[in-house]
Structure 1
Amino acid sequence: MKSLNNYFNQINLEPLEDFTVAHKYSLIGLVSTAAFIFLTKKFYFNGGKCYLKARLDGKTVIITGANTGIGKETALDLARRGARVILACRDLQKALEAAEEIRKKTGNGNVFVELLDLASLNSVRQFAEKINSQEENVDILINNAGIMMCPKWKTKDGFEMQFGVNHLGHFLLTNLLLDKLKKSTPSRIINVSSLAHEKGKINWDDINSDNSYDLQEAYRQSKLANVLFTRELAKRLNGTGVLTFSLHPGVVRTELGRYFSDSFGWKFYLAKILLVPISLWFFKDATQGAQTTIHCAVDESISALSGAYFSDCKPKKLLENALNDEDAKKLWEISEKLTKLND
């Protein structure tokens, strides 16, 4: 021990002291910046967390797009709570792998996969028919799947892809499962929207982007449609025991932007190089992004808030574009016709 103390006593710290004194303001700035980044990530950008320990034993949950990202993390959490979880996905192989992983991590063997392609109304109908015939209950429907800022693509039914998948596919799916949800009350429908809806507007003259296409505006329109659909649905389900909520999951590192390279080309790869370090600090990971969805699925205290919009596990006030009841009703009626819901 003495030899070790002698060693440290022989170290000349004067150069370090001189450097510290000469650069004290730079060092203070560096430490302050590091502390700011750490604290803002921990207490702001990571967002809210669902701390509720509610169990879902005996409950059946359907989650669209649950093979990756927020949907997968939501499925993992709800499976841990004892729910029977159905991953409704387009990519069966990835969904089967995700289901196996969830079963292993949770010890819950009641995790299943069903084919659902929201870009095909026929696929939606086939999925709903199968669920209605084989499932005794559907207690929670989580409309999570989505596509973001893709090129001008069409669904199999000829709809603009973002409007078709993000809104119309889920609109039809929800309506086809409503009778089952009503028989399973108290039950819930959760629509994953986005903060992007705040800058969105419904282009009534060209809702399908046939005449012109702006990928960002189309995405915003689809996310606004999620919120308007939720509010109109809540009105129509008033008194039935079926609750519905929409939410913003946060800015999350997921595969949602998987088509950016198709949309933006080399600009995307350049931006990716610049943004990756920033995203590691300021974006949520998928587990953090799933928290508000989980909160809306299990929190009993929000039962009187059907139709509300949530962010970071708390209700958030909507802007005027999402509070227009006439727009919500008009969108519902148009969606009925486009999906041939009543045919």
Structure 2
Amino acid sequence: MRMRQISFLSDTEKNMSKLFWSSLFTLAAAAAFSLKRYFGGMNCRCNQRLDCKAVVITGATSGIGKALALEVAKRGAQVILACRDMKAAWAVVDEITKETHNEGVYALPLDLTNFKSINEFCGLLSECEFDIYSLVNNAAVFYLPLQTTADGFDVTFQTNYLGPFLLTLKMLPSMAKNGRIVNVSSEAHKLCSSLDIPKQAGLFEVYGHSKACLNLLTLKLASTVDGVSAVNVDPGNVETKIFRNFPLLSNPLLKILLWPIRFLTVKRPVQGAQSVLHAIICPQPANGCYIRDCKEEWPSDFCMNDTNADALWHRSLQWTKMTEEYVLQTNEYSSV
């Protein structure tokens, strides 16, 4: 009788143990799912089509740019991938075309670290006679060792800001009325509090400074150019190749150790593309606004300062050898 009781208690304890671990696993899985969903951000719920509308996306061979290209192609847009690596670009064109059956996906060469390449790109684009509905300045680099471009500027500054500045101004004559310029920014812009970056600034600060400058470009375009709206978009923390130079993630061992945390808290490219897609297709976003998780917000006070925007604008015109007259002529054209 005693042996049977011990056996019965042992079975009960085993069942209780199984129930405990099963419940614990269920709770952990539910918590992980909730975290993943929370950090994944909002999805764009706008269902507008983009038929016969052309969208230019820089840096579209991977990451957010590639995911965005697929999303707009699904909605019927003509998609122009503006990329430095043309072999990779045409591979993406083939991939998107096969998946969406949209034959209006193209690729053109563009190197934002070279003003000559930007001018050549805009020349090719004008020859194609696209009526550009949206320009998405998505291409960017992060934590890149300090180096100078052929035009004499820091490669991060030119890739993330000065190149897009010149590209945007050169493309204004090709923009459709009521078109949209979408500048992909970052929360790192809040690190910037001056137009002049300190000489001893770290690589993270250099990146934040370039994104703050991009925000100031948006502010200036919103107040200067008629017929075209400009918005900033913060896609959040997204798992892309932009981190390939970041020490914590370029180290294979550290990357493996950080994987569980990043899996739960970092967005996939398609999730990062949602706010950018929202900026393109949502009805009438506030001109100059800052979109995050598909909601309109505003950037830092520094990036909302018109004096800062004006000062950077005039510097940038000088750096790129552009003129105020060119912008005014373009403005008259876009207002027609």
TM-score calculated relative to the size of structure 1: 0.86
The reply to whether residue 196 of structure 1 matches residue 182 of structure 2 is: no
Q: Paired residue for 1:34?
A: 29
Closer, same or farther: CA 265–26 of 1 in aligned 2, 3 Å: closer
Closer, same or farther: CA 225–13 of 1 in aligned 2, 3 Å: farther
The reply to whether residue 187 of structure 1 matches residue 168 of structure 2 is: no
Q: What is the DSSP-based 3-state SS (H/G/I as helix, E as strand, rest coil) of the residue aligned with 2:231?
A: strand
Give distance in 1, aligned partners of 2:64 and 2:305: 29
1:193 deviates by 0.4
Q: Paired residue for 2:304?
A: 323
Matches within 5 A, 1:162-311: 162-181=156-175, 184-204=176-196, 207=197, 211-237=199-225, 240-260=226-246, 264=247, 268-302=251-285, 305-311=286-292
The reply to whether residue 45 of structure 1 matches residue 49 of structure 2 is: no
**Which segment is superposed worse, 169-178 or 326-335?**
326-335
Task: Determine if contact 1:189/1:242 at 8 Å carries over to the other structure.
Answer: yes
1:219 deviates by 0.4
Q: Paired residue for 2:140?
A: 146
Q: Paired residue for 2:51?
A: 57
Q: What is the DSSP-based 3-state SS (H/G/I as helix, E as strand, rest coil) of the residue aligned with 1:290?
A: helix
Give distance in 2, aligned partners of 1:20 and 1:251: 43
Deviations 1:78-111 (A, max 9, x none): 1111111100000111101001100000000110
Matches within 5 A, 1:92-111: 92-111=86-105
Closer, same or farther: CA 31–180 of 1 in aligned 2, 3 Å: same
Task: Determine if contact 1:153/1:160 at 8 Å carries over to the other structure.
Answer: yes
Q: What is the DSSP-based 3-state SS (H/G/I as helix, E as strand, rest coil) of the residue aligned with 1:186?
A: strand
Any stretches of 5+ residues in structure 1 without a counterpart?
Answer: 1-11
Closer, same or farther: CA 317–25 of 1 in aligned 2, 3 Å: farther
1:258 deviates by 1.9
Deviations 1:244-296 (A, max 9, x none): 11011011111111223xxx399833431221222122211011010000000
1:28 deviates by 5.7
Task: Determine if contact 1:202/1:224 at 8 Å carries over to the other structure.
Answer: no
Q: What is the DSSP-based 3-state SS (H/G/I as helix, E as strand, rest coil) of the residue aligned with 2:177?
A: coil
The reply to whether residue 332 of structure 1 matches residue 313 of structure 2 is: yes
Q: Paired residue for 2:331?
A: none
Q: What is the DSSP-based 3-state SS (H/G/I as helix, E as strand, rest coil) of the residue aligned with 1:300?
A: coil
1:227 deviates by 1.0
Give distance in 1, aligned partners of 2:265 and 2:243: 16
Task: Determine if contact 2:66/2:92 at 8 Å carries over to the other structure.
Answer: yes
Q: What is the DSSP-based 3-state SS (H/G/I as helix, E as strand, rest coil) of the residue aligned with 2:147?
A: coil
Q: What is the DSSP-based 3-state SS (H/G/I as helix, E as strand, rest coil) of the residue aligned with 1:185?
A: strand
Q: What is the DSSP-based 3-state SS (H/G/I as helix, E as strand, rest coil) of the residue aligned with 2:132?
A: coil
Give distance in 2, aligned partners of 1:118 and 1:301: 29
Figure out how many residues of one structure are paired with residues of the other and give that number: 318
Task: Determine if contact 1:152/1:213 at 8 Å carries over to the other structure.
Answer: no
Give distance in 2, aligned partners of 1:253 and 1:13: 52
TM-score calculated relative to the size of structure 2: 0.88
Deviations 1:154-199 (A, max 9, x none): 2221211111100000000000011221xx1120100000111122
Amino acid at match of 1:227: N
Amino acid at match of 2:189: H
The reply to whether residue 127 of structure 1 matches residue 121 of structure 2 is: yes
Aligned-pair RMSD on alpha carbons? 2.3
Amino acid at match of 1:219: Y
Task: Determine if contact 1:64/1:88 at 8 Å carries over to the other structure.
Answer: yes
1:324 deviates by 1.6
Identity %: 37
